[in-house]
């Protein structure tokens, strides 16, 4: 019975997502790699995702890649996690993209919607070396990388 409910739930979620993609017209929009590194986005205030407390307590490191569509009105739509090493990292990464200061930007920086992606690395510094320079044991796609550094006690 539980497996039937699980299958029905997954089917519902997938069909709902497909219907939303048809409705908003973004399903065929290709990913523009590293879009937010372009000069036109230099005024966008971005900040790391909050490192999930349970991941800090467990010493868990990992990553999440989030795809999203930016509209000419600087609205963020069709947010989806394409890969994550941990469910909590996926949730934190998807939430923070919406909290970036999109409303502070002038509208019409772009004339058409753009799909891009951001990779979030959740890591701990190793000794005196920043985790941004340490080879990770995990991998998520993406050239636009935001690091969330956890603090061990």
The answer for residues whose C-beta is within 8 angstroms of residue 82's C-beta and 6 or more apart is 65, 66, 67, 117, 141
List, for residues 21-57, the tens digit of each pLDDT value: 445 688 899 999 999 999 999 999 999 999 999 999 9
Residue 78: give its domain's CATH number: 3.30.2420.10
pTM: 0.80
Same domain, 55 and 85: yes
Does the structure show a pLDDT above 50 at 12? no
Same domain, 38 and 9: no
Q: How many domains, the chain?
A: 2
Same domain, 145 and 126: yes
- Please identify which residue in the block is written with the tokens 């000069």: 39
Same domain, 101 and 127: yes
d(CA 11, CA 54): 30
Same domain, 57 and 110: yes
Q: Which range marks the domain in which residue 6 is found? A: 1-28
């Amino acid at each position: 019975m539980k497996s039937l409910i699980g299958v029905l739930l997954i089917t519902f979620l997938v069909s709902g997502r497909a219907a939303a993609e048809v409705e908003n017209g973004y399903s065929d929009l290709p990913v523009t790699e590293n879009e937010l590194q372009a000069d036109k986005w230099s005024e966008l205030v971005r900040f790391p995702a909050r490192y999930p407390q349970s991941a800090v307590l467990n010493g868990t490191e990992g990553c999440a890649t989030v795809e999203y569509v930016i509209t000419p009105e600087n609205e963020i739509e069709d947010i989806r996690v394409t890969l994550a090493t941990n469910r909590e990292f996926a949730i934190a990464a998807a939430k923070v993209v919406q909290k970036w200061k999109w409303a502070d930007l002038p509208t019409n920086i772009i004339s058409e919607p753009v799909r891009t992606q951001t990779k979030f690395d959740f890591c701990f510094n190793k000794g005196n070396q920043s985790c941004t320079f340490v080879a990770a044991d995990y991998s998520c796609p993406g050239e636009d990388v935001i690091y969330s550094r956890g603090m061990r006690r």
